[in-house]
Amino acid sequence: MFCVHIYTGSLALVGRSGVGQAANHQQAALRAAGAKVVTRWDPPADVIHLNTVLPCSLRAARRARRRGLPVVWFGHSTEEDFRHSFTGSDLLAPLFRRWICHCYNQADLVLTPTPYSAGLLRSYGIRPPVAALSNGVDTDFFAPDPALRAAFRQRCGLTGGTRAVISVGHYMERKGILDFIALARSMPQVQFFWFGYTPPSLVPRRVRRAMAQAPANLHFPGFVSQEGLREAYCGADAFVFCSHEETEGIVVLEALACGVPVLLRDIPVYRGWLEDGVNVYKADGTAELRLRLAALLAGRLPDVTAAGRAVAEARSLPVIGRELLRRYAALPLPRRRSATLPAHRTA
């Protein structure tokens, strides 16, 4: 059985982020594909898979190379999506780019969620091959459920025909939180919910001030469990993601999987797999987001949620697990072990 070491040495620090969720996806995907997953150095594995760019991950990559273990690094981070995030991120962005290049250059293969992010990383001059592979989504867990919709509406006191719009993410300008606040202010008859949490010390002053002045129809429930988030997706009338920069957007995949209508800012990362009016709706700026959202909530736009669900199913965890194993199979395996991939390796 092929054995994969998913390095978890720094994941506790990012457990509530998309990176932490991606690492969980990898473990579930690989097990679904018939691989063995370990999180310790012993027993020895056939490949090590890293997700963070914290110093301990760099040390782990070097340790793996000394052992002759192939290194796969998942490139969740780019300079572009580091900007406009936490306090001081714009000043640190050039240094961050140099750091992630140093990390990724320790790998035998760099995976990253989309062709867009792969193009960015290649433009940095990274030496190892860079390939695109989605983070994936658990389409069994995230799925349409009328009972969960009713539970969400009851929990939030949404009576009659009251409309609910949600978004998910850290309190970052890059994530579009300022635009979301503006949308809520311009549509007082609609209830808006932003799920997620960021420690106040990391939130830029401009964002803190805007949140403090947010309208009464905008709610900040904070961080919720995966079960709570699934309920919110199923209960919402629209998922609006105003993010200015992403490498993929796991929350977008989760919303699509749950069958909620999705409205996105039209940014390059979605091109080629999410199409306006086909499986999602897109808008260029806050004013257009408001117009599209109003039309969506009024039922003036065609229902594209079935096509959106199909996008998520094409990125289900079993699909991603098989593709991960295919990528690993192309790497030089350690000489000290004779690993055997699952039968679908040669398919």
Predicted pLDDT of residue 333: 63
Query: Could you check whether 3-136+316-346 and 146-313 share the same CATH topology?
Result: yes
Q: Which residues of 261-284 are buried (b: 16+ CB within 10 A; e: fewer)?
A: bbbbbbbebbeebbeeeebbbbbe
| 179's tokens | 């635009």
**pLDDT value for 337:** 46
pLDDT in tens, 69-115: 999 999 999 999 999 888 888 899 999 999 999 999 999 999 999 99
Does this model's pTM top 0.85? yes
Predicted pLDDT at 15 = 61
Report pLDDT digits (tens) over 237-285.
999 999 999 999 999 999 999 999 999 999 999 999 999 999 999 999 9
Q: Is the pLDDT assigned to residue 347 strictly greater than 90?
A: no
- Right CATH number for 146-313 from 3.30.565.10, 3.40.50.2000, 3.40.228.10, 3.10.105.10? 3.40.50.2000
Q: Is the pLDDT of residue 315 over 60?
A: yes
Q: What is the pLDDT of residue 273?
A: 97
- Mark 116-137 as b/e (b = at least 16 C-beta within 10 Å): bbbebbeebebebebbbbbbbb
Residue 64 has pLDDT above 70, yes or no: yes
Would you list the domain boundaries of the chain?
A: 3-136+316-346, 146-313
Residue 195 main-chain phi, psi, to 5 deg? -95, 135
- The pLDDT value recorded for residue 334 is 58
Q: Please say whether the beta carbons of 100 and 78 come within 8 A.
A: yes
Residue 238: both structure tokens together: 């629209």
Judge whether 186 and 297 are in contact, CB under 8 Å.
Answer: no
Class at the top of the CATH hierarchy for domain 3-136+316-346: alpha beta
